[in-house]
Structure 1
């Protein structure tokens, strides 16, 4: 980690890499695997940004949780990702209460 690098960004990047690796290793069919992979790619790009978008991080986290949240083998990695997102002051409950995107995100996750 370089001097001055935000440790939250490092934690987000590590959490994205961990879940991405575990999802890649998970061989069972998942109907929404592509949704999770797209959102992990978006979070990976956000982890490289100087000022990540909190709403976009919440949206990505919601879609990932909807896509793979019921897979117990991936639950620890999903929890770590949630913690990394929340470190930016983005509580996981805020999305459904405050984001105007919640209904669309839920519909997109269920496709």
Structure 2
């Protein structure tokens, strides 16, 4: 299978890779915090969809770094102004950072 520049597949199953475990834990925590947050804001649906995508990548056990970072960027843009969710968002960002930077050619 050919991959675009910057896409690197991380091998291993979710249970084998502590980075995947950390990602799934952080995403789960932020999803719960978002579900409990009383305010409705315009991009809430985008945040929920991208958190679901991040979780799915974690379940697969082999997330692509470029896709992880894209989803993180969309979540941050969607909920970045909701200060109550900042610690959870920081946790997801830290978990994504564990996978490193996309490879460049």
Whether TM-score is above 0.5 comes out as yes
Matches within 5 A, 1:1-111: 5-90=16-101
Q: Which has the higher contact order (CA 8 A, sep 6+)?
A: 2
Instruction: Name the CA distance, whole Å, in 1 between partners of 2:101 and 2:71.
Output: 12
Instruction: Name the CA distance, whole Å, in 2 between partners of 1:61 and 1:87.
Output: 13
What is residue 105 of structure 1 aligned with on the other side? none
Instruction: Name the CA distance, whole Å, in 2 between partners of 1:46 and 1:90.
Output: 17
In the alignment of these two chains, the number of paired residues is 89
Instruction: Name the CA distance, whole Å, in 1 between partners of 2:57 and 2:95.
Output: 12
Q: TM-score, normalised by structure 1?
A: 0.76
- More helix by percentage: 1
Instruction: Name the CA distance, whole Å, in 1 between partners of 2:84 and 2:44.
Output: 14
Q: TM-score, normalised by structure 2?
A: 0.80
Using the TM superposition, name which of 46-55 and 31-40 deviates more.
46-55
| Unmatched tracts of structure 2, length 5 or more | 1-14
| Unmatched tracts of structure 1, length 5 or more | 92-97, 99-111
> How far does residue 14 in structure 1 lie from its aligned partner after superposition?
0.3
Q: Deviations over 1:4-35 (max 9, x none)?
A: 61110110000000000000000111100000
Instruction: Provide the aligned C-alpha RMSD in A.
Output: 1.5
